[in-house]
Amino acid sequence: MEIVKLKDLYFKKYISEKEIAQAVKKMAYQIKQDLPKDEVPIFIGILNGCFMFVGDFIREYNGDCEVSFVKLASYEGTETTSKVKKLIGVNEDLTNRTIVILEDVIDTGNTLQEIYEIFKHQPIKALKIATLFFKPDVYKKELHIDYIGKNIEDKFIVGYGLDYDEYGRNLASIYQLTPAPKMKNIVLFGPPGAGKGTQAEVLKEKYDLMHISTGDVFRFNIKNETELGKLAKTYIDRGDLVPDEVTIDMLKAEVEKHTEAKGFIFDGFPRTISQAEALDKFLAEKGERINGMVALEVPQDLLVQRLLERGKTSGRSDDQDESKIRNRFEEYETKTAPLKDYYEKQNNYYGVDGVGSIDEITERLSEVFDKL
Ligand code: AMP
């Protein structure tokens, strides 16, 4: 998932899970190194945003330690306000202890200053400040920060415990605020013969979208005997999928041909998880995303009938032979069907009953398109 929508705003992937894990590990190691050998520090997390960070940090900290939390809220929406609203303090006896404050992100430093004021009057031994993310461009305080996981740009971030109005805390990566996408991009999904092509022709007019059918592009290239066509033909004739690299490059080239498009209906693409990932990434580079996968659900027996019927007039070699059709279903079940999970995980899968008249099905699809 490269661009996510949380309530009314959009966020694009900014720092991966892996990068976060590396930064956390490095901080835990460094802090352990810097403390006296037998020191048992008290790590104090600043709730709510720090909960994931503290959890991961503690697992990486290789030594005895205590953990506690304080809560101060200084955010309202995406705007940092200078007023701190709530405080839940620590109850432990801090006398002669080494305190390490763990913050998820420090920007202006207002929250941090408040916390610091609380601790500096206590009879503690030492006070250190560690933050996973730091915005050097907006930090206004004199207070020294001892450990920084990663410097970041001054843009609102969510994920890995951080929220936008309580949304997005459960995202495993960090996402950064990004302008709203301009396009409506829909993956029209379903097994061979589900009626994707037929419906796409109607829906592209209705919603003023470009229709890209990878199958059609391949067939066009085969007919014109291009290099791509020659390469794809052997796969298509057998009912196998064309290799991902070939298909992904071709798809990108098709999208690039239509820079003015208001959006795309992708028909027959993606068909594998790696195609779906490539598509997400490619669109995110343009500040765009897949609004939804809309799937036509049709029982397999009906599909075979439909395909054999189509084979009588379509001239498609892969529609005329039942064993090739069966092979296409097998390819679908093993490589393509798992995409349902991929989009479901993004909360972006919409199943539609694909049995009925063309008009009825268009109606059902339109109900979903209108929402996306
Ligand atoms: P279709 O017209 O969508 O049924 O596609 C016909 C054939 O083109 C498929 O059986 C594959 O051999 C090939 N093809 C179309 N789209 C893709 C794709 N996204 N990935 C791999 N092969 C594809």
Q: What pLDDT does 73 receive?
A: 57
Quick check: CB of 241 below 6 Å from ligand 1?
A: yes
Q: Which of 199, 221, 271 to mutate to test the pocket of ligand 1 (most atoms within 8 A of CB)?
A: 271
Residue 304: HSE in the Cβ half-sphere, 13 Å Cα cutoff: 11
Share of the chain above pLDDT 90, in %: 76
pLDDT band at 325 (very low <50, low <70, confident <90, very high): confident
Q: Are strands 87-88 and 79-80 parallel, antiparallel or unpaired?
A: unpaired
pLDDT of residue 84: 47
> Does the pLDDT of residue 144 top 60, yes or no?
yes
Question: Mean pLDDT in the chain?
Answer: 92
- The predicted-structure confidence for 154-163, as pLDDT tens digits, reads as follows 999 999 999 9
Does the pLDDT of residue 235 top 50, yes or no?
yes
Q: If you measure from the C-alpha of residue 270 to the centroid of ligand 1, how many angstroms do you get, rounded to a whole number?
A: 9
Strands 66-72 and 42-47: parallel
Mean pLDDT confidence for 328-344: 91
Whether the per-residue pLDDT at 207 is higher than 80: the answer is yes
Closest ligand 1 atom to Cα of 243: 21
Give the pLDDT confidence score for residue 320 in this predicted structure. 83
Q: Name the pLDDT band for 322 (thresholds 50, 70, 90).
A: confident
Residue 46 has pLDDT above 70, yes or no: yes
User: Which residues participate in catalysis according to the annotation?
Assistant: 196, 271, 310, 316, 328
Residue with tokens 């109850």: 91
**pLDDT over 60 (residue 217):** yes
Distance CA 372, CA 350 (A): 10
* Ligand 1 within 6 A of CB of 192: yes
Ligand 1 touching residue 324 (CB < 6 A): no
Those residues with Cβ within 8 angstroms of residue 295's Cβ, 6 or more apart along the chain or in another chain: 189, 190, 340, 349, 350, 351, 352
Provide the pLDDT for residue 210. 97
Cα separation, 236 vs 242, whole angstroms = 7
Cα 27 to averaged position of ligand 1 atoms, centre (Å): 48
**How many angstroms separate the CA atoms of 112 and 218, rounded?**
59
pLDDT, one tens digit per residue, over 259-286 is: 899 999 999 999 999 999 999 999 999 9
pLDDT for residue 220 is more than 60: yes
Q: Whose CA is nearest to atom 14 of ligand 1?
A: 215
Residue/partner pairs of 337-341 with CB below 8 Å, 24 or more apart: 338/273, 339/189, 339/270, 339/271, 339/272, 339/273, 339/276, 339/293, 340/189, 340/293, 340/295
Least confident of 40-54, 104-118, 314-328, 332-346: 314-328
State whether the beta carbon of 221 lies less than 6 angstroms from ligand 1: no
214 lines ligand 1 (CB under 6 A): yes
The closest-lying atom of ligand 1 relative to the alpha carbon of residue 271 is: 19
Percent of the chain with pLDDT over 70: 95
> What CA–CA distance (Å, rounded) separates 268 from 245?
15
- Tokens in use for 256? 């690039």
Each residue's pLDDT tens digit, 66-120: 999 988 755 555 655 555 444 567 778 889 999 999 999 999 998 888 888 878 8
When comparing pLDDT for 84 and 254, which is higher?
254
195 lines ligand 1 (CB under 6 A): no
Residue 205 CA, ligand 1 centroid: distance in Å: 23
Pocket of ligand 1 contains residue 311 by CB under 6 Å? no
Q: Which ligand 1 atom is the nearest neighbour of the CA of 196?
A: 3
